Structure 1
Amino acid sequence: MEQVYRYIDENKEMYVQWLQDLCKLPSVSTYDQSMKETAEVVKTYLTQAGVPTEILQMPGQQPVVYGQTSRDKESTISFYNHYDVQPEDPIELWESPPFAAEIREGKLIARGSADNKGALMARICAVHAYQKVYGGLPVNIKFLIEGEEESGGSRHIKHLAATQPELLQADLCIWENGFVNSDGSFEVKLGNKGLLFVKLVAKGANTDLHSSHASIIENPAWRLVWALNTLKNDRDEILIEHFYDKVAQPTEGEKEILERMDLEEEEMLARLGLDRFIRDLRGNELREKLVFQPTCNICGIESGYTGKGSKTVLPSEAWVKIDFRLVPNQVPKEILQHLRNHLDRHGFQDIEIIANEGTQAAKTDPDHPLVKKVMKAATKMKGIPPRVILMNPGSGPMYALCQQLGIPAIGFGVGNPDSRKHAPNENILIKDYLDGIKMAATVIHEWA
């Protein structure tokens, strides 16, 4: 691999420029912003890397960039990534424009740099470098790059998995991202939590009213607060009936991996300006809760007047957005029905639920031989074993694209513990990006 590593180092300015150019495109899927343009740019990079590529488009959905090399090798690796990014708000908290892709003190600062354009470009660059050095690849490569991961629940890509599974079929899928830890080791992820995202809406009068009417007209904001108060207690326990029925406890083998998982608790608290975790949890209890327990989280809540100064108003409507991170065996549509039943039982039949279809949790066996091959590549490249995350606390369409089709999946990436994904000043270290290129190339080489 020394020749490939040398080629990557000699061409690092070009590879960094490719990533900067991609990060300058404001591909915010929530706003349908620059999506088709970004998909075409990704296609151009894949073509430059020697990967025949096409754009797959369904009406009303964001394009999928699909690339596949020759099919004459015995085995196939697929790379799953997404080119869409989160909205950049709040803009005023950014130290530089979110799509300027500035480099400062060895960091590339841009929305999407860590989630997920950095890992996406690292993999494209790895294929480019490997083919420039060796003139070919030892394994068939597929790229599956979508534009709805951050907003649309990956509808297009789930449709492909259901209707054209042969496009996705592979021996192993390299999932979208992961961290490089402070000790230099890679973090590898073997699963994702599932997700159910809902909006609860409480309605009152057909117009906002003067707040003097609060003595006789019910306020939907209070109505919503009372409903929320039934969902969770002050010990962070979710009170929805049957919510935990299918939650499985970790196996003995999984507990052993959890014990080796270094969460860097003190560093995390210091970085976030906190002095404690929920319920003062530490050690194994904290790690088990992070990885194996579901959540009920308020993402945003709004009602009435929230502008500058005062406005004495009784609002006509209140809403809250909630995400449930689910664990294996929990089915989103069943959780949605449990939520509806819970609200009805507590007298909140009037509160409307607007929900997406959700995503099931996914998990890969850490003892799978192909997973071990990736871990061996990470150890060889870094000189230190990777840290294993059994299940990423975040979510994605891994179950639909991988486990449902019998494909093992493992993720690694180019982020860092302070990458600030989904937040202002998202960033990656240039060194980690270049190491991410080398890591992807090393995985490809291990197949030889």
Structure 2
Amino acid sequence: MSSLRVVSSSLALALSCATALSAHAADSPRPLYDWSTTERFDASRVPAYAGRHDAVYARIDADMDAHIANLQRWVRQRSISAQDDGIDAMANLVADDLRALGFAEVRLVKTPGHPGVLGYYDAGAEKTLVVYMMYDVQPVEDNWQIDDPFAGSLVKHERGTVLMARGATNQKGPQRAFLNALDAMIKTNGTLPVNLYVVAEGEEELGSPNFGKVIEPWVERLRKADGAFFPMNIQRPDGSASLNLGVKGIVYFELESKGGAWGGPAKAEVHGSLKSLVDSPTLRLVQAIASMTTPDGNTITIPGYYAPVKAPAAEQQRLINTLAAEADDSTMQRSLGVSHWIDGLSGREAIVRNLYDPTLNINGLWSGYTGEGTKTILPHIATAKIDSRLPPGLEPDDAYRMIRAHLDANGFKDVVVRPMSGYPAASTSVEAPLVQAMLGVMNKYGAKTRVSPWLAGSAPFHQFTRTLGLPFVFGGLGYGTGAHAPDEFMLLHPAEGVKAAGLADIEKSYVDILHALSEAP
């Protein structure tokens, strides 16, 4: 059962009031959520995993040099999905490593994009786990402190010895660490405590457009598993951790305004002086986008857009109550370089807004001349890339339908909506045995864990929770930073005073997670 404790009477009084998600007037389309519980979820009261697997731990310690070399081998293989750089070689490396570990079934899966990898290890066990992996990485920037981001460099850092490379923490490092743990278990015990499926894709950094194709050949087999897991570093340097039980969904699309029968130049730009007589596609696009939000850009005005969002259930309220009691908005704002949240929100209201509000965000906007100096033209085309994050309840097809209907109703039928990707939200109950097993292992290693109903970001985890119908958890010990940025690293050997796990304990915790799941009811 979940572990709960009652908050102080003063906070209980505050929580008894309805949570207002907006400081706007009462006619805001945002719903008001009634808060029904003052209880908090206390992850520390989940019993710590008590199992000991000393022979496997000793093997991990003895093989640490080889295990570090495995991480280096993975990050040295380029696999930039956006540039199709090294993708096939990395897919084959993953497949070959699974075969070397003793996975009897391994296959490459062709898709319209990059290939996937499927693997199965039959341990003859009662429980079966699906392990998700992504083998692709982001492009690299020029301003790294090391000469080659694909060299697998071991660097002395203020946090300790780190593996600095593209993919070190996102996600090749923790994934190969998981395979290292499997290697130690198999070499020590001859098998694993659970049967394992590995499903790996090479397009996560592209929005996973073909991940459904990757799992399709084994979808009926995968549905019979007991849960799904994604190895990931979720600790901070102080040893605390953030465990998210799901993700928002997303739609990502382009809006385009082009001259034509409605007005504006249809074939090419024209002289800017003709604006007195000629419509501007650029201004039309700006007005179409502006029509979808309030003037401050912070409330979506598309009719019905907030209505499908599911209100926080009691379980989610308990998780949020704990997050709110420990919230530090000012520190997060400083880390992001922003002065305040929208509407001056803080604490629980900020958390609920972040988790339960759909978003509408412009990623890029371009038209006409953007070079040096001046060029007075009236462009014939304007384009914007937009994403909308979707909380549970708001489905991608419905979001696209409402966006199209809103533009049509406001006189923008000529504005093209070009969908590029989309998938729904995913979430798992904190009561799921897989989640409880994870929390028990985190408690064994003294990692204070903050649990959130889901992440405000997006990933294709609905393929596990909806397509396969499995509980899904992503996390693990370990610290890394710099994902999608210069100087990405994963901590291997912590410096004195750093409480995040090093590689040896990361791998030992993976051993414990598999055993804890095998013993779960």
The TM-score normalised by the length of structure 1 is: 0.91
**Any idea what the Cα deviations from partners look like across 1:147-192, whole Å, max 9, x if unmatched?**
1222153424356359733145310111353521343133322111
> What is the aligned partner in structure 1 of residue 182 from structure 2?
127
Say whether residues 1:398 and 2:450 are aligned partners.
Answer: no
**Alignment partner of 2:118: what SS?**
strand
Quickly say closer, same or farther: Cα 1:439–1:306, change in 2 above 3 A: farther
Equivalent residue for 1:317, pick from 376, 381, 385:
381
Question: What amino acid maps onto 2:453 in structure 1?
Answer: L
Query: How do 1:4-23 residues align onto structure 2 when only pairs under 5 Å count?
Result: 4-23=56-75
Deviation at 1:62, TM superposition (A): 1.8
Deviation at 1:398, TM superposition (A): 1.6
> What is the aligned partner in structure 2 of residue 110 from structure 1?
165
Deviates more, 1:191-200 or 1:124-133: 124-133
Deviation at 1:98, TM superposition (A): 4.0
> What is the aligned partner in structure 2 of residue 218 from structure 1?
279
CA contact (8 A) 1:197 1:358 kept: yes
Is there any run of 5+ residues in structure 1 with no aligned partner, and where? Answer: none
Quickly say closer, same or farther: Cα 1:313–1:100, change in 2 above 3 A: farther
- CA distance in 1: counterparts of 2:105 and 2:275, whole angstroms: 61
- CA distance in 2: counterparts of 1:64 and 1:348, whole angstroms: 40
> What is the aligned partner in structure 1 of residue 315 from structure 2?
253
- CA distance in 2: counterparts of 1:248 and 1:84, whole angstroms: 33
CA contact (8 A) 1:178 1:187 kept: no
Equivalent residue for 1:236, pick from 295, 298, 306:
298
**Any idea what the Cα deviations from partners look like across 1:297-352, whole Å, max 9, x if unmatched?**
22222222333444433322221111111111211011101011111111111111
Say whether residues 1:388 and 2:388 are aligned partners.
Answer: no
CA contact (8 A) 1:364 1:403 kept: no
- CA distance in 1: counterparts of 2:286 and 2:183, whole angstroms: 54
Query: How do 1:72-83 residues align onto structure 2 when only pairs under 5 Å count?
Result: 72-83=124-135
Equivalent residue for 1:363, pick from 427, 431, 443:
427
- CA distance in 1: counterparts of 2:223 and 2:426, whole angstroms: 16
Query: How do 1:254-293 residues align onto structure 2 when only pairs under 5 Å count?
Result: 254-261=316-323, 262-293=326-357
CA contact (8 A) 2:222 2:468 kept: no
Question: What amino acid maps onto 1:227 in structure 2?
Answer: A
Question: What amino acid maps onto 1:313 in structure 2?
Answer: I
- CA distance in 1: counterparts of 2:188 and 2:457, whole angstroms: 36
Is there any run of 5+ residues in structure 2 with no aligned partner, and where? Answer: 1-52, 260-264, 494-500
Quickly say closer, same or farther: Cα 1:352–1:100, change in 2 above 3 A: farther
Deviation at 1:367, TM superposition (A): 1.1
- CA distance in 2: counterparts of 1:33 and 1:433, whole angstroms: 30
Deviation beyond 4 Å, 4+ runs, structure 1: 413-416
**Alignment partner of 2:470: what SS?**
coil
Deviation at 1:80, TM superposition (A): 0.8
**Any idea what the Cα deviations from partners look like across 1:40-98, whole Å, max 9, x if unmatched?**
1112222333333523323523211111111511110111121122333xx24444444
Quickly say closer, same or farther: Cα 1:131–1:29, change in 2 above 3 A: same
Deviation at 1:21, TM superposition (A): 2.7
Say whether residues 1:57 and 2:109 are aligned partners.
Answer: yes
Query: How do 1:46-195 residues align onto structure 2 when only pairs under 5 Å count?
Result: 46-88=98-140, 91-96=141-146, 97-104=148-155, 105=157, 106-157=161-212, 160-161=215-216, 164-167=219-222, 169-175=224-230, 177=232, 179-195=234-250
> What is the aligned partner in structure 1 of residue 6 from structure 2?
none
CA contact (8 A) 1:85 1:115 kept: yes
Say whether residues 1:408 and 2:478 are aligned partners.
Answer: no
Quickly say closer, same or farther: Cα 1:317–1:74, change in 2 above 3 A: same
CA contact (8 A) 2:186 2:192 kept: yes
**Alignment partner of 1:78: what SS?**
strand
Quickly say closer, same or farther: Cα 1:8–1:300, change in 2 above 3 A: farther
CA contact (8 A) 1:195 1:361 kept: yes
Equivalent residue for 2:489, pick from 412, 417, 427:
427
**Alignment partner of 2:423: what SS?**
coil
**Alignment partner of 1:318: what SS?**
strand
**Any idea what the Cα deviations from partners look like across 1:257-280, whole Å, max 9, x if unmatched?**
112224543332232223222322
Alignment root-mean-square deviation, CA: 2.5
Deviation at 1:239, TM superposition (A): 1.4
Question: What amino acid maps onto 2:162 in structure 1?
Answer: K
Quickly say closer, same or farther: Cα 1:110–1:221, change in 2 above 3 A: farther
Question: What amino acid maps onto 2:242 in structure 1?
Answer: E
Percent identity, aligned pairs only? Answer: 32
CA contact (8 A) 1:333 1:357 kept: no
Equivalent residue for 1:39, pick from 74, 84, 91:
91
Question: What amino acid maps onto 1:438 in structure 2?
Answer: K
CA contact (8 A) 1:58 1:156 kept: no
Deviation at 1:415, TM superposition (A): 6.6
**Alignment partner of 2:169: what SS?**
helix
Deviates more, 1:97-106 or 1:40-49: 97-106
**Alignment partner of 1:202: what SS?**
strand
Equivalent residue for 2:258, pick from 196, 199, 203:
203
**Alignment partner of 1:295: what SS?**
coil
Question: What amino acid maps onto 1:70 in structure 2?
Answer: D
Question: What amino acid maps onto 2:154 in structure 1?
Answer: I
- CA distance in 1: counterparts of 2:277 and 2:257, whole angstroms: 17
- CA distance in 2: counterparts of 1:237 and 1:191, whole angstroms: 24
Q: Count how many residue pairs are aligned between Structure 1 and Structure 2.
A: 444
CA contact (8 A) 2:477 2:509 kept: no
CA contact (8 A) 2:434 2:472 kept: no
Larger Rg: 2
Quickly say closer, same or farther: Cα 1:110–1:302, change in 2 above 3 A: farther
CA contact (8 A) 1:158 1:401 kept: no
**Any idea what the Cα deviations from partners look like across 1:367-403, whole Å, max 9, x if unmatched?**
12332122111211x2234221211222222222233
